[in-house]
Structure 1
């Protein structure tokens, strides 16, 4: 007989987790889900096990809006080991080439400048992008290489931090879908010595405040303290969550009267006096401005529902 499924609780919001090194994003996600005893959880773009830093985890109805964080800009601090190239472009891979470091500071700056702005990037074989339904890394682990199309990425800022011996440290502000490992590998080839990532930290996702990040150790400590004091862990944990609508705060707000919002919740496009002329909008209801989901301005200038939350207790 199968064991009855344990029922979690309905909790809605975004946790800004400071992921530690050595754990997969999915492992961290499952631990957070257990700590919060949440019914539903999802992360917003995986970090490699080697990487640390900001990993927004959406709980409950916030999972419906995780795509907007996947599409957002990211900021990273990276340290590269010069003179060595690996098959995965990071320290977890096998060494495939070793060459002397022979470039000048001027050559380094010229090479770095080639990555600024919008450029094509061919994703690494050791990535989660799929080819014929399978992640690329599965092919790579079997020694296979499959064709990958270059994708446009934008590096808004590439800041030189330091170059000491065989270590190069950079800070990179980039668009969605940018592989930092690939930038470092490509840079190493431009410099003629090879390079791979030995340290990677995601500093920021979108405009989320860095000071709101928490670690798994901090979450576990709050959980254990609540259990020791025989009180509900939610009293300590839930205040750590960013609002459910935080992934979509960049979109203009359309506030609807409750009676109008009722029609929208039934799937009907509605007229709204304060709506923009086009594009996606963030919809709120009533004087309390309760977030009810995302909509899009249709061809008739009405707000059409696109992704709505279910009724929930605030």
Structure 2
């Protein structure tokens, strides 16, 4: 006899997963969705299979908050393996160039400031970016020449954690769209050598960090009720955004997608992005214009 079909639940909230090595982001979402029997799930920012760390997984209504979390600041810890460049700019690819040069710590520290601020970065050819509708990594695997134009990214800070003759460990705080593999490649080239990422761990995404993280093994060891108790609220994805608390009449209007006039002392006149609530419940994301809140996404 076949096993009974699992009933999908309309459950909402965030699972801050410490994604394991050699698992794709899609596989991680599928596993967590199965463990929670969730009807709907998604993630806020892809992690390479060889990377570990923070993968925020949204269940149910939290999927509507994915853009806000995905746009948040990222923190990565990574190691640069000195002396070799690879096709993928990480340990998965084939070596395409080598160098005997091993940078001194002082030289590495001196070059890091040139990789902070708003900089131009050429993404790795093995990336999910699209060229004429095709993923760059699909074209690269098919042996086609891939040319990706440099893009502006924002790097807030790079800190050297440890330095050795064969590899160095760094921590970078950066914006959405930053490729750490490209950063490692470019730092090595600026030092007159070659290099690739040999370790990559994402320590934070927007409001979520390592302190919040759960492993697959931890979730598997719990029953479904215990798992539910560990879910973070939908609003946990909005901690970096202003919250506006509405009264019952305003809340009813917003639930129907209508704009509302904000009243009371201190009410904002203009905001690019914010969220509104009623008695702790997330109602919508949106913006404020001329003292009116206007809905972008309404939550059930």
Alignment pair present for 1:277 and 2:277: no
Deviation per CA, 1:199-227, whole angstroms, max 9, x where unpaired?
111111123242221100111111xxx3x
TM-score scaled by structure 1?
Answer: 0.89
Deviation per CA, 1:157-213, whole angstroms, max 9, x where unpaired?
111111212111111111111100000011111122200111111111123242221
CA shift, 1:14, in A, is: 0.7
CA contact (8 A) 2:44 2:58 kept: yes
**CA–CA separation in structure 2 for the residues paired with 1:196 and 1:31:** 30
CA shift, 1:251, in A, is: 1.8
List runs of 5+ in structure 2 lacking aligned partners. none
**CA–CA separation in structure 1 for the residues paired with 2:31 and 2:298:** 27
Aligned to 1:260: 250
Q: Where in structure 2 are the equivalents of 1:235-314 lying within 5 Å?
A: 235-274=225-264, 275-278=267-270, 279-285=272-278, 288-298=279-289, 300-310=290-300
Which 4+ stretches in 1 moved above 6 angstroms?
Answer: none
CA contact (8 A) 2:54 2:208 kept: no
Q: Secondary structure at the match of 2:294?
A: strand
Change (3 A) 1:216 1:62: same
Aligned residue-pair number: 295
Of the structure 1 ranges 5-14 and 194-203, higher mean CA displacement relative to structure 2 is found in 5-14
CA contact (8 A) 1:265 1:305 kept: no
CA contact (8 A) 1:155 1:173 kept: yes
Deviation per CA, 1:229-252, whole angstroms, max 9, x where unpaired?
xxxx1x200121111012222222
Deviation per CA, 1:111-168, whole angstroms, max 9, x where unpaired?
2221122111111111111122221111111222333232211211111111212111
CA RMSD of aligned residues (A): 1.7
CA contact (8 A) 2:257 2:295 kept: yes
Alignment pair present for 1:43 and 2:43: yes
Aligned to 2:214: 214
List runs of 5+ in structure 1 lacking aligned partners. 227-232
Q: Where in structure 2 are the equivalents of 1:13-92 lying within 5 Å?
A: 13-92=13-92
Change (3 A) 1:209 1:183: closer
Deviation per CA, 1:7-51, whole angstroms, max 9, x where unpaired?
400111111101110111110110000000000000111111110
Q: Secondary structure at the match of 2:208?
A: coil
Q: Secondary structure at the match of 1:245?
A: helix
Aligned to 1:156: 156
**CA–CA separation in structure 2 for the residues paired with 1:271 and 1:160:** 49
TM-score scaled by structure 2?
Answer: 0.93
CA contact (8 A) 1:41 1:58 kept: yes
